Amino acid sequence: MNEVTSAMDVIGRLQKRSLLVGVIVSGAALIAAFFSPAQFFRSYLFAYVFWVGLALGSLAITLLHHLSGGLWGAVIRRVLESGTRTFPLLALLFLPLIPGIRDIYLWADQQKVATDAILKHKSLYLNVPFFVARTVLYFAVWFVMAYLLNKWSRQEDEASTPELQSKFQFLGGIGLLLYGLTATFAAVDWMMSLEPHWFSTIYGLLVIVGQVLSAFAFVIAVASILIHYKPLSDVMSTVQFHDLGKLMFAFVMIWAYLAFSQFLIIWSGNLPEEIPWYLHRLHSGWQFIALFLVLFHFALPFLLLLSRETKKRPRILALIALGVLFMRFVDLYWMVGPEFHQHGLAVHLLDFLLPVAMGGIWLAFFFRQLKSMPLIPVNDPNLQEVLEHGRT
* Res 49: pLDDT: 98
Amino acid code (one letter) for 132? V
| Residues in CB range of 50: below 8 A, 6 or more apart | 214, 328, 329, 332, 355, 359
Q: How far apart are CA 350 and CA 348, in angstroms?
A: 5
CB neighbours of residue 184 within 10 Å: 18
CA-closest candidate to residue 233, choices 2, 31, 7, 63: 7
SS3 7: helix
Asked if residue 86 lies in contact with residue 55, where contact means CB atoms within 8 angstroms, the answer is yes
Under 8 Å CB-to-CB from 158, ≥6 apart: which residues? Answer: 379
pLDDT value at position 72?
86
Between CA 113 and CA 119 the distance in angstroms is 5
What does the pLDDT read at residue 239? Answer: 87
Q: Which residues of the chain have pLDDT under 50?
A: 1-4, 391-392
SS3 at position 212: helix
